[in-house]
Structures are given as C-alpha cells and as structure tokens.
Copies of this chain bind each other. A is one copy, B any other.
C-alpha cells in the first residue's frame, strides 16, 4: 500500500532515529521525501542523501539556509539582545523557524500533505517545529512518531532501532554513541540528556566540540572591531589578519572562528522548558557571545535610557520567550519584531574588543550619534550644566519620599536605627 496515505516531508538528519522514521513511515503507507537544511552544522550531506534514498525516500532535498538564518533570525536576536533565563543565547530556538519555513516551502513544492520530524515528546523542539508549521500553513498535518504509542513503544530502546535498521538494510555508523545528545548549527551546539541529566555532573572536557577550553586557548589575545548600523553588524576588522569582513555570513563565521580559538561562549545551565520540566543543557555559542557583548556595549553609548528600558522590558524579554517557546510565526512575534527597527535607529558605531581565554573585553567604543556628549557629561568641567538645577531635581524627587517618611513616622513604623530602617 506504499504511498496510499499521502506524501510526507520528513526533517531528516541522516541518523538512526530519522532513518528509522523514514522507513517506518513507508511501512505505514506514506511516500516520503527527506529534507535537510544546511544551517551551518558539520555534516556529510552527501552520505545523508545516499542513506535517505537507501531507506526508501522518494526524494531528497538539501537546502542551504545559512544566509536566511543569519539575516532573518540571528540579526534580529542580536538587535534585541535576546537571551533566555539570563544565560542561554537561543541557538537551537533560532534555527527552528528557518528550517520549518524551508520545510513548508518544500512541502508545498513537493505536494506533501504531511510533515514529520524526529523530535522526542518531552522537548522544546517538537513544539517549535510544529507551531512554526501551523503558523506558516494552518492546514498542514504533522506526524510526530515519538508521540505515537505504536512507534515509541515499538522502538523503546536503541536495540529495537538497530534491529529494525538491520531488517531494513539501513546502514548504521559504527561510531560509539556519545553519552549525550547534540544539536548543531552555525550559531551554536547544544549538549543534553545522557550523563548530563544529573545537574551535578561536570561535563567532560572532551564534550565541548566547538571551542578550545580557556586553559588551552592562546596566551596572546586577539583584538577586533565590530561596526554596527542600526544595531546590525555590518563590518568587522581583525587585528591579527588585518582583514575586514562585510558579508553577513562571513562576519558571523569569522567571529565564530575567533571565538572558538579563544575559548569563548561555553555555558552550562538548568533551564525551564516550555512544557514545564526543568532540563540541563550545555551550549557553545562562540561568535554570538562576542556579538552580544559588543551590541550591549554600543547601546550604552548610543541608545536613549528610556528607550532602552522599554525595549528591554518588552522586546528583549518577549522575543526571547517567543523564540524559546517556538512562537516565531505568531501574531505576537510579528508585533514584537515590528518594534525592533525604531529601537535601533541610533545604534550606529564601532566597538573595539579583546578576546582572551574565554573573556570578551570591551576596550573602547565610538559613534557619530550625539547622545553622549563628553563635555556635558564631564565630571571635571561644567560644560553647560547648571549644578543648581540638580537641587531642584532632587527636591522634587524627594516630595513623595518625605511624605511617605512622615506618614510612616507618624505611625511609628519607620526609624533611622538598623532595625526600623530596613524593616519592611
């Protein structure tokens, strides 16, 4: 009954899981087209193609989505200073909308009624993929085998997968499985599951794949300049090479290479997944870590204080949550992203950085924007400032406080001794 149920576009990785799903979908009566997005991960795409065909795929699509990833997802995240729970730079979250869009576009071209993926039923990625699918194409149908009892009960352990693969003639790489899972793209690599599920286990040194450890990083620092235009990196200059890079993808990959060398961008976190469980994850986000430091620094020089406050409270916080939870193709995402450009109008200038053994050190910054005025800010000269004005400013600011203080003292609940002063 091959293909009788319709046509599926499968997010294919070339690994044991998605190869099994590919073959199982065919068993179940679907035609399957395998889809791979090149979002910068290290991968033998040709080997994957051959394996997909061997598994029975009716087609194989490889799409280079690196530029779309950098320009449409990473740049807005840099502009917004997106970060999840103070630590995680959202590398996996950022890639999902790109891949999902590529898949839906391909599904339409290939005439697929279904899309499928190999995400587990406990993670964030299933949600991110599927919400993106539905946001882009409300009538798409999704097959998530790891949430279908017949599938997950049948393939409960690795041996069941291997046995099935053997029965289907699916080639299995003989490399020993690592005791953790990874997801890689040009922004980052993530590590989770396996031995990392004990949050008190220190990740082994050889887990970290992208970056040199700070201990083994070069003794001499690198110095670079990053130039931003409306909050977007438009050029970088690298001291050691004397080169300038201006293409978006080139900028990002160059920063990645430098950061990897200098041990920058490792984090280890227990985070809160969208489905409400806590999860331990380790991440390497080398270039992104440099960009975050530089962008925040330039905003110090060029962004109005109150614009920054409002932006932080809404764009930064909300966009980060939207990305992490998987709502990129949603009305609220459109709304929040519509607020970014105005917030970045003045974020133009250069940030000079030193990279050294895990540290990203700001060494200076400059801008033609006029929000910082050296003379006026100077502690050493008046520069047009009237010090008496501050007296009035303080007097007025104190009105509420005095009124409150009088009220509290009248009640006897306030006082200047330690006990009463800090008592709330």
Contact = CB atoms under 8 A, between A and B. Distances in A.
Interface of A: 68, 72, 81, 85-87, 101, 104-105, 108, 120-123, 126-127, 130-131, 134-138, 144, 146-149, 152, 181, 192-194, 197-202, 214-215, 221, 266, 268-272, 275-280, 296-297, 300-301, 304-314, 317-318, 321, 327, 329-332, 334-339, 341-343, 346, 352, 356-359, 361-366, 369-374, 376-380, 385-407, 409-410, 414, 416-418, 421-422, 424
A343 B370 CA distance: 31
A334 B318 CA distance: 20
B372 A270 contact: yes
A332 B304 contact: yes
A338 B346 contact: no
Contacts of A147: 387-388, 390-391
A120 B370 CA distance: 24
A387 B306 contact: no
Contact of A397 (B127, B301, B377, B401): B127
A327 B400 CA distance: 11
A342 B338 contact: yes
25 contacts: A85-B300, A105-B416, A108-B416, A136-B405, A138-B405, A192-B379, A194-B379, A199-B364, A214-B357, A272-B300, A276-B305, A279-B377, A304-B404, A307-B335, A331-B400, A334-B424, A338-B339, A339-B342, A370-B403, A386-B395, A388-B392, A391-B392, A392-B396, A393-B393, A393-B397
Contacts of A403: 138, 276-277, 370-371, 373, 376
A319 B407 CA distance: 22
Given A81-B86, A87-B296, A358-B358, A416 B278 contact: no
**Copies per assembly:** 4
B362 A359 contact: no
Given A181-B379, A305-B400, 13 more contacts: A101-B416, A197-B377, A215-B221, A270-B300, A270-B365, A306-B330, A306-B332, A309-B332, A313-B313, A314-B314, A371-B407, A376-B399, A390-B396
B356 A131 contact: no
Nearest to A330: B401
A272 B331 contact: no
B356 A335 contact: no
B277 A300 contact: no
A324 to B, nearest CB: 11
- Among A193, A339, A357, max chain B CB count under 10 A is at A339
Nearest to A350: B200
Contacts of A122: 377-379, 385, 387, 390
Q: Which 4 A-B pairs have the closest CB atoms?
A: A392-B392, A121-B387, A272-B305, A276-B399
